[in-house]
Structure 1
Amino acid sequence: MRRRQWANLACVSALALSLGYAAALAESMPGTDPTLGIPLPEQPALVILDDEKPAPARPDASAEAAPDAADDAKSETAGLPVPETEPGMVTGTVTPSAQPQGILVAPDLPSVPAATPDLPVTLDIPEIDLPPSDPALIAPFRLQAAPEPLRSAEPLIAPPDLPKVVVELPPASEFAADIAARATEALALPRLGERERADIVTAYAANGNKPLWIDGKGWSEAGKRLTARLGRAAEDGLRPTDYPLPAFEASDKGSLAEADVRLSGLAVLYARDARGARVDPRRLSKLLTPTLYLPSATEVLSELTGATDAGAVLAAYNPPHEGYRRLQAKLAELREHLDDTPLVRIPAGPALKLGMRDDRVPLVRARLGLGPTEDPVFDRSTATALAAFQKQAGLPANGVLGAQTLAALGTPATARGEQDIIAQMERWRWLPADLGSSHIMVNVPEFRVRVVRQGQIVHETRAIVGKPETATPIFSHKMDHVIVNPSWFVPPSILKKEFLPGLAADPEYAAKRGYVVTRTRHGISVRQPPGERNALGWIKFMFPNDHSVYLHDTPNRRLFANERRAFSHGCVRVDNPFLLADQVLGPEWTHERLKRLIGSGERRINLPAPLAIHLVYNTHVVGADGKLTTFEDLYGFHRMVRQALEQQG
């Protein structure tokens, strides 16, 4: 009986604990899960069916209470509460329909003997439906076994072997810091302008300071082509010493970086020199006003870096004209032959003229290749030989030994010839790279006018140019119209030098010569009306310019018979100008039709299209046969250019 009471006590205690825990939980957070914070479903009511009610108490229960007192004392000694048995208490086995999760387990109780065969009391507690729990949320509140590591799914078919990808970083990044640090020092070239230096630095910065001409071990293929072109600068009439190639150590990144930037600076300098930057013509004379087409550093580097052959692109900055190429070939020919003329030093002294006696005469004759003479007289043979030398040297062929001629005699013939050709090549750089498929070329020292179409001369005639004191300017422009029966307005220079003194001496000075004087707010204007005596003749060819010069007819046609035709005030007088009009006005306006307009009043005729015209100063010309022809340096422009280049050297 004692064992049975212990069984009943254990069952009742378990039921009480379960019900107490549920009640406490419902009071603390009614309807809400403490972990998830979501409402819980309503708990079903506990219903005891009639067939599950406990049986009435047995009569022998009181008889067995005494022996239980000793056991109760033992329980109190052990620290456990002693349950009191009340009348009507239900005893038996409680079997829930499902074990609730998370219920605290009571401390270990003494082992309970096997239950008596009495029928147990069974309570049907339905299972509570809860939403599925997230393991990650309940992990802190419940011990779980560590999950197995995820395993990748094995493909059923093995993939093919992929090729190995080899990524090679360009060596450019290795030089970026050195290029940025050494750019200023690398671009310290004497004639490279500040603007060009800044443009080069900007170009490198825009490219991430990557090298352009090195590949990590030395010059790249493009760099080698550039250095080769710079090394042959003498072929183009340029000085190789102006483009000293940088030296570097292949193992020194800083040295390589500096060499790369230096080569860019040298290439830009060469390109600009090839287009005419070595000499500023406007500083030599106010009458030298060509428009130079100098490339920017950005343009040069852009073209070179994008070219297949950087050396060929760099060489193409030199003039592409046939006249320049012939001079280039002649320069190479001169350098192949050494000058075997004995160089004789002639002392300075007064100018020697025909018939003068001087101790220097034997030296002059020896320098000119003439035989000795007993009497030191500057005779006719000496003067004739000296005049031939002067003509070849581009000097006035007057047979007088002056300072310029003496300096020319003191230079070896080969060296002097090189200097002359190089100075002439330099003036070709003043011209546009594109002269125009159709254009007019006026060579002032030659006194010639030529019309060129598609590279062929279609018309050529004689010309009269300005006197040395009123020189014809050198420039390029566009001819756009022709005027028949023109009036001539006396330019200010002639008005000041000739007309004002004449009018001061004779008020009728202008009227007697057929000029009309008009008083203006700023002074007077003198105009010569159209007519046979008009200084412009019957026709003039207009190309607006700063010098107020143009091509025109002349009433003094007899002057064309002279070999040296420098008679004008700066304009270019054309022999038989109506034939020239045929070339520029087209077939609609023949010279017969134009002549019918003479005397009928001033008439303007526009050209079908503007025509390029170039007034040039070519004292050294190489023909198609390779023969060099020299013309007199009328205004000293050739000498100015040659001296300017020599001073740079």
Structure 2
Amino acid sequence: MPEPFLQTQAPASVQAPAAPPAAPKADDGISSPQPASSAAPAPAAAPQPAPTFADLLHKALDAFAAAPLEGRDVKERRELRAAVADLYGTRQYAPLWLDDGKPNAAAKSAMARLAHAGDDGLSLDGMPAPVFTQDADGLATAEINLTMQVVAYARQASGSRIEPLRIGRLIGAKPAIPAPSAILTSVAAAGADAGTVLEAFNPPQAGYRALRDKLAELRREMPTARGPIPRGPTLRVGMSDPRVPLIRAKFGLDTAQESASKNLRYDTRVAAAVAHFQKAYGLPASGVLTTRTIAALSGGQPSRLEAELIANMEMWRWMPRDMGKNRIEVNIPDFTVRAFRDDKMVWSNKVIVGKPKTPTPVFSSLIHYVIVNPYWNVPPSIVRKEMLPKLEQDPTYLARMGFETFTRHGHLVVRQPPGPKNALGRIKFIFPNDYAVYLHDTPARHLFNDKRRAFSHGCVRVDEPFGLAQAVFGPDSRWTEQRVERLVGGARHYINLPEPMPIHIEYFTAFVDADNHLQLRDDLYGYTRKVALALGLESRRLQGHEAVSIESRRIKRRRSAQPERPSEFAPD
């Protein structure tokens, strides 16, 4: 049986109970009796004061903080909302972005920067935009929306979108993410310079800025969006099709001399533009208008090259903001080490890095000293996986190979004494880290002739390591390259640096060289593809290694077709 309708008012035949008599008015704690026949009328209720903007903002923030959340990182997003509400609480809910009910200079400057978030590969898609109206409730909403966009921009610019360990377990880089209160107070206090302060949350390094410039250049050269291209048959040079005028318009091939709307011929000029587009999007650069090319031309996904640039810009966010004017940088996919003095490169050479199965870690540290004529203490994993099986077959194996063995705390310890066959070569560079890796020499010098130099167990082998020693000690040090090299062959020597020198082991598959040419490298460990995927870019195409060229400048991807050779006994 259906439930009866709930009544919100008593029926006419039922009298609502009479209201209880009003309490007597107090007068210094004594009540004066009133005649029953002449009861005094109840006093009129005092008018309630109109809510202030602080009251409205307080109410809106409470509702915002309590609103349900869905999707990923709900706990973190809830904490962000609470932190924003707390900041306003400390301000007695005074607005950050309003003066006399209108957007102030900081609001206008910040919104101008937010409008260009995409220039830095950032995305505020899905976030409500601040719309400042004359309505007080609308102003409160706009205040909160602008606050959350400023916080999101600054946190993304600082590297909050990706936890590096999700990309690779040997990525020790960890970006420093500012608190919402620090972001908001610094940006709002900057007034007309708020946009500049907000932009400064992006990496300051020249390498990052150069990639951002190349991203802008690439986007300028991409065909303009003029609506989707209808599906149809595959087009080759010489064919005619009613979609050709749309394709010509996409690439800006319209001219005053030709009636583009009537030119239905798929000619060599159109095919060349299509081939150029296909290269940038990681498609076969045939110049043939295929179904996949039509889908890419119709928009919705960034190009393969655009995705790679944004992914590398994201990995710059993991780097320390102050990398040191004097520093060492090792770029794993480039197989190169570079030394900088006063931010200028003074020395560069080849390196050998870890195999994909034993990758070189990504992290930053400080070089404290070098060791000439080092011992090599063989890691237990190499003893277990590579040496013990050989020892079982030949009990004299370690002695024949010149290794020393002893026990420590009940465990077998294997080490190789200094000498020409030592796996670490003649010198190694020591910097504290959690991965037991370092830079060092190698006796297997022929491996530097390969282009794809991924042969180690994780350490970095350096070509001409005594040149690196000179760069590390500095031009004014008495420890010249020749003096350090003269120590080879004697006892083990420890040489401390005058002061610790920053070292950064990096992973960049896209960078801009000294001639302002964009250089691309193979994604050796797959990190670029994983970053692009985590950012929601069309990253599956990043698995290819096609050469990419754009007419306005040279872009070159170095690649190698050599198969990975078997590891020589180079156990690092």
The partner residue of 1:322 within 203, 206, 210 is: 206
Distance 2:294 2:507 in 1: 24
Tell me the residue number matched to 2:512.
Answer: 622
Query: 8 Å contact 1:482–1:541 — kept in the other structure?
Result: yes
State the shift of 1:441 in Å: 0.8
Change over 3 Å in CA distance of 1:480–1:392 after alignment to 2? farther
Which whole-Å deviations, capped at 9, do the CAs of 1:517-571 have from their partners, x for residues lacking one?
2223352111111111111111100111011111100011111111111111111
**Greater relative contact order (CA < 8 Å, ≥ 6 in sequence):** 2
Q: Offset of 1:453 from its aligned partner?
A: 1.6
Q: Distance in 1 between matches of 2:146 and 2:514?
A: 37
- The alpha-carbon distance between structure 1 residues 518 and 343, as it changes in their structure 2 partners (threshold 3 A), is farther
TM-score, structure 1 as length reference: 0.61
Q: Give yes or no for contact 1:228–1:311 (8 Å, CA) kept in 2.
A: yes
Write the distance in 2 (CA, Å) between the matches of 1:479 and 1:410. Answer: 51
Contact 2:403 2:415 in 1 (8 A): yes
**Would the aligned equivalents of 2:532 and 2:538 in 1 still touch at CA under 8 Å?**
no
Superposition deviation, residue 240 in structure 1: 3.5
Deviations 1:143-170 (A, max 9, x none): xxxxxxxxxxxxxxxxxxxxxxxxxxxx
What is the aligned-residue identity percentage? 45
2:367 match: 479
**3-state SS in 2 of match to 1:584:** helix
Q: Is the 8 A contact 1:248 1:259 kept in 2?
A: yes
After superposition, what is the alpha-carbon deviation per residue over 1:205-243, rounded to whole angstroms, capped at 9, x for unaligned?
Answer: 111110000224332221111112111100111124154
Partners of 2:478 and 2:78 in 1: CA distance: 53
1:239 and 2:117 are equivalent in the alignment: no
**Structure 2 contact 215–309 (Cα < 8 Å) conserved:** yes
- Residue 611 of structure 1 corresponds to which residue in structure 2? 501
Q: Quick one: structure 1 residues 610 and 262, their matched pair in 2 at CA, closer, same or farther if it must change by over 3 Å?
A: same
**Aligned residue for 1:178?**
56
Alignment partner of 1:633 out of 514, 523, 528 = 523
Q: Aligned ranges for residues 260-339 of structure 1 at < 5 Å?
A: 260-308=143-191, 309-339=193-223
Q: String of CA shifts for 1:596-647, please: whole Å, max 9, x gaps.
A: 2222221111111111111111101123444221101111111111111117
SS of the equivalent of 1:452 reads strand
Which residue of the partner structure matches residue 234 of structure 2?
Answer: none
> Where do residues 414-453 of structure 1 align in structure 2 (5 Å cutoff)?
415-453=303-341
Whether 2:449 is the aligned partner of 1:561: answer yes
Residue identity in the other structure for 1:301: L
Give the corresponding residue for 2:97: 213
Of residues 105, 110, 113, the one that matches 1:229 is 113
Pick closer, same or farther for the CA change 1:322–1:244 going to 2, 3 Å. farther
Question: Do 2:84 and 2:180's aligned partners in 1 also have CA atoms closer than 8 Å?
Answer: yes
**Could you tell me the TM-score, scaled by structure 2's length?**
0.69
- Equivalent residues in 2 for 1:460-499 (5 A)? 460-499=348-387
Alignment of 1:368-383 (within 5 A): none
Amino acid at match of 2:187: L
1:524 to 389, 412, 416: 412
Aligned to 1:547: 435
Q: Answer whether contact 1:394 1:619 (CA < 8 A) is retained.
A: no
User: SS of the counterpart of 1:212?
Assistant: coil
Q: 1:569 to 1:501 in 2, by over 3 A?
A: same
Select the structure of larger CA radius of gyration.
Answer: 1
Count matched residues.
424
- Secondary structure in structure 1 of the residue aligned to 2:327: strand
Deviations 1:371-391 (A, max 9, x none): xxxxxxxxxxxxxxxxx9999
Shift of 1:185: 4.0
Taking the aligned partners of 1:605 and 1:195, their CA distance within structure 2 comes to: 49
SS in structure 1 of the partner of residue 345 of structure 2: strand
Instruction: Work out whether residues 280 and 303 of structure 2, in 8 Å CA contact, stay in contact via their aligned partners in 1.
Output: no
SS at match of 1:432: coil
Number of the residue aligned with 1:456: 344
Match of 2:546 in 1: none
Q: Secondary structure at the match of 1:476?
A: strand
Equivalent residue, structure 1, for 2:80: 196
1:599 and 2:489 are equivalent in the alignment: yes
Q: Gaps spanning 5+ residues in structure 1: where?
A: 1-172, 346-387, 400-405
**Distance (Å, rounded) in 2 between the aligned partners of 1:408 and 1:549:** 45
* Kept after mapping to 2: 8 A contact 1:233/1:240: yes
Residues 295-332 of structure 1: CA distance to partner in whole angstroms, max 9, x if unpaired? 11121122112213111100000111111111111111
